[in-house]
Amino acid sequence: MSAHSAAARGIGSGRGSRWTLRALGLGFLALLLVAPLVMIFYKSFEDGLMPPLEAITSENGLNALKLSLLMVAIAVPLNTVFGVVCAILLVRHKWKGNALIDAVINLPFALSPVVIGLALYLLYSTNGGWFGPALAEVGIEVLFSVPGMVLASIFVSLPFVVRETVPVLQEIGTEQEQAASTLGANTWQTFWRVTLPAIRWGVAYGVVLTTARVLGEFGAVTIVSGSISGQTETLPLFVSKQFEAFNEPGAYGASIVLALLALSTLLAMNLLKRKEDA
Amino acid sequence: MEANPAALPPSAASTRAGIRLPGLGVGIGRGYVVMYLSLMVLIPLAALVDESLTSGLGNFWDQVTSPQAVRSLELTMICSLIVVAINAVFGTIIAWILVRDEFPGKAAVNAIIDLPFALPTIVASLTLLALYGNESPFGIDIAFTRAAVVVALLFVTLPFVVRAVQPLLIEMDREMEEAAASLGASGFTVFRRIIFPNLIPGLAAGVALAFARALGEFGSVLIFAGGLPDTQVSSVFIRAQVESGNEPGASAVSMVLLLASLLCLATISLTQRWASRHERSTGGTLVMPMAGEMPADGEREEGDDERA
């Protein structure tokens, strides 16, 4: 440690430059992150607790909340199961297709949500989409209804569990799993009793990120949903709609719910990181 | 502490045995993964490519080069470049103070860096408007201008560079710095000649991810910068085209964004291959806490430190 402090004196060094860097970095964060966060709370509760509470307990507000939770309830489990299976295949089973799978998994991170929404829109459009007309014939509406919004949520949040599970799987190695199978455990038992407990914090971290992304998704969902009040309106869409209707308390009422969920996410991320490192 | 993490052999054993799906299971598992990815990601994107080319390359080109489309693409590109340049500098400074500096509240500062990943973009847009709009408590009104586009993009892309550079700084071997300093190098020279070159792989990956994110950003720009002709970024343009029924125009511009995303991902992948070939650490899994990285053959170096 003494060597480290010597180096610290060597570089970044003089008291002046240390304070300059600190002021620049923290000042940037204060203006860009802290001030907006404080502002959400200030604006939401400017006129007391009631206006945001009324907005979120209005019929459309509650429907938006329910629909957001429904998105989470469907998209998160699907992406979690996929993520764990995919991670095991990528890490433990060499295959020439793995590089391609890996590349495709990264796509949703780099793609604009609006492009994702448009792709789904074109595919499921009843007017000339590849799947739309056939599905319409059997009575399944994808666009402007819940299935399309679920598909958009799955697309945008697909990589998180895979990305968080892969490194953990690599790190835990295989000794314990080998021991388990030597002792007569079958693959299924080994997975439930040895592998899953070892990777659980990594998976949990991925699940937290997936949930946050699904709750906050706006761009992709806005294209496929049509944003019909009370029917295809998630919380972020509700925020946007209320803002457009000049109903600020309404917009902030839903925003404060989303901001509190975001803060819980941050808290969960930090707790899980600590568990993972422990 | 004297062990050099890079010198340890990769944990090749982890791929050799351990939990494996039984014979038939591998096939089923692969089938499931390929099906899921095709259905959820690849087929929709194929439909997009198909639509953009459906009336010929000539029409595609006309759509991409329409004055409005060009304007939005230019604006998006320029703002994204400005944003990643600012983030590269401030992201490195923030990573630096989080690793090498000590001050009260550091843990809280470290935790709040990820806020833009957690906060829905539309909420960010709303609060940025309240903060830097015409009712700004600071008296700074930049709403519905290009500056608003830049600020919104700065907000959403802030964590990328910080989180990419931070692990590299943590792992960095300080002996070289000490040697340079004892030979009389100034603080700035040490940074330029020793620290900065070691940060390049992480910085490049962070910048590429931030750039990809900035190019496609929608929600945070929407309310704060609006969709005025002057502030219409590509994703806002695309939505406007969808709403007015111009699907060929929307899909043509989408194709440009799709290609740009692929380029960013390719850049990240190449940087990482370069870095691992030169035995430069890319910071293990932390390079992109949220994002893609080839599952490198290398191992988590923090773990090795503990074992050593």
Longest CA–CA separation in chain A, Å:
74
* pLDDT in the model for residue B6: 38
Distance of CA B272 to the CA centre of its chain: 14
* pLDDT in the model for residue A170: 87
* pLDDT in the model for residue A52: 84
pLDDT above 80: residue A230: no
Give B211 or A52, the one with higher predicted confidence. Answer: B211
* pLDDT in the model for residue A14: 65
* pLDDT in the model for residue B180: 83
Residues 6+ apart with CB under 8 A from B214: B76, B79, B80, B83, B84, B153, B156, B157
Closest CA to A43 of B122, B119, B126, B144: B126
Instruction: Over range A3-32, report the average pLDDT.
Output: 72
* pLDDT in the model for residue B19: 65
Closest CA to B219 of A234, A122, A51: A234
* pLDDT in the model for residue B253: 94
Burial B189-227 (b: 16+ CB within 10 A, else e): ebbeebbeebbebbbbbbbbbbbbbbbbbbbbbbbbbbb
* CA A160 to each of CA A76, A125, A207: distance values in angstroms, whole numbers, following the listed order: 10, 28, 7
* pLDDT in the model for residue B23: 61
Chain-chain contact of A174 with B17 (C-beta, under 8 angstroms)? yes
* CA B54 to each of CA A143, A204, B20, B51, B262: distance values in angstroms, whole numbers, following the listed order: 21, 43, 44, 5, 22
Chain B residues with CB under 8 Å of A265 CB are 118
Closest CA to B219 of A156, A121, A236: A236
- pLDDT, tens digit only, all 308 positions of chain B: 333 433 334 444 434 456 666 666 788 889 999 999 999 999 999 999 998 888 788 888 988 999 999 999 999 999 999 999 999 999 999 999 999 888 899 999 998 999 999 999 999 999 999 999 988 888 889 999 999 999 999 999 999 999 999 988 988 878 888 888 888 888 788 888 888 888 888 899 899 999 999 999 999 999 999 888 889 999 999 999 998 988 889 999 999 999 999 999 998 888 888 877 775 554 443 333 333 333 333 333 333 333 33
Closest CA to A158 of A95, A222, A113: A113
- How far is B276 from chain A, CA to nearest CA, in Å? 16
% of chain A with per-residue pLDDT over 90: 49
Chain-chain contact of B223 with A243 (C-beta, under 8 angstroms)? yes
CA–CA dist B142, B224 (Å, integer)? 9
Burial B152-182 (b: 16+ CB within 10 A, else e): bbbbbbbbbbbbbbbbbbbbbebeebbebbe
Q: For residue range A173-198, what is the model confidence (pLDDT) as tens digits?
A: 888 888 888 888 888 888 888 889 98
CA–CA dist A8, B96 (Å, integer)? 11
CA–CA dist B292, A11 (Å, integer)? 33
The end-to-end CA distance of chain B, in Å, is: 8
Residues 6+ apart with CB under 8 A from A212: A261, A262, A265, B117, B118
Q: Are B221 and B227 in contact (CB under 8 A)?
A: no
Chain-chain contact of B235 with A7 (C-beta, under 8 angstroms)? no
Q: For residue range A130-166, what is the model confidence (pLDDT) as tens digits?
A: 888 888 888 888 889 899 999 999 999 999 999 999 9
Q: Are B145 and B233 in contact (CB under 8 A)?
A: no
Q: Are B304 and B284 in contact (CB under 8 A)?
A: no
Chain-chain contact of B127 with A36 (C-beta, under 8 angstroms)? yes
> Interhelix angle for B234-243 vs B196-216, to 10°?
20
CA nearest to A270 within chain B: B111
Q: Are B10 and A171 in contact (CB under 8 A)?
A: no
CA–CA dist B17, A226 (Å, integer)? 49
Residue A42, Cβ density class (10 Å: 0-12 exposed, 13-18 middle, ≥19 buried) = middle
Chain-chain contact of A174 with B117 (C-beta, under 8 angstroms)? no
Instruction: Over range A103-113, report the average pLDDT.
Output: 92
- Cβ-nearest to B33 among A101, A212, A255: A101
Closest CA to A142 of A156, A159, A125, A127: A125
CA–CA dist B285, B40 (Å, integer)? 25
Residues 6+ apart with CB under 8 A from B70: B64
* pLDDT in the model for residue B297: 39
- How far is A100 from chain B, CA to nearest CA, in Å? 10
The end-to-end CA distance of chain A, in Å, is: 21
> Interhelix angle for B121-132 vs B146-171, to 10°?
120
* pLDDT in the model for residue B280: 57
**Amino acid letter, residue A117:** G
Residue A24, Cβ density class (10 Å: 0-12 exposed, 13-18 middle, ≥19 buried) = middle
* CA A237 to each of CA A77, A221, A278, B296: distance values in angstroms, whole numbers, following the listed order: 23, 8, 39, 39
Q: Which stretches of chain A are DSSP H helices?
A: 2-10, 15-29, 35-45, 50-57, 59-92, 98-110, 113-124, 132-137, 146-157, 159-172, 175-182, 187-190, 196-216, 219-225, 235-244, 248-277
Chain B residues with CB under 8 Å of A29 CB are 94, 109, 112-113
Give A215 or A273, the one with higher predicted confidence. Answer: A215
Return the number of CB contacts < 8 Å for A and B. Answer: 342
Chain-chain contact of A90 with B155 (C-beta, under 8 angstroms)? no
DSSP string, A90-117: HHHS--TTHHHHHHHHHHHHHS-HHHHH
Q: Are B178 and A3 in contact (CB under 8 A)?
A: yes
Q: Are B138 and B202 in contact (CB under 8 A)?
A: no
What does residue B278 show for φ and ψ, rounded to 5 degrees? -95, 15
Q: Are A225 and A149 in contact (CB under 8 A)?
A: yes
- Mean residue pLDDT across chain A: 88
Q: Which helix (H) or strand (E) covers residue B147, if one does? A: helix B146-171
Chain B residues with CB under 8 Å of A135 CB are none
Neighbours of B48 (CB within 10 A): 23
Q: Which helix (H) or strand (E) covers residue B68, if one does? A: helix B67-100
CA–CA dist B248, A14 (Å, integer)? 59
* pLDDT in the model for residue B18: 64
- Cβ-nearest to B216 among A111, A173, A216: A111
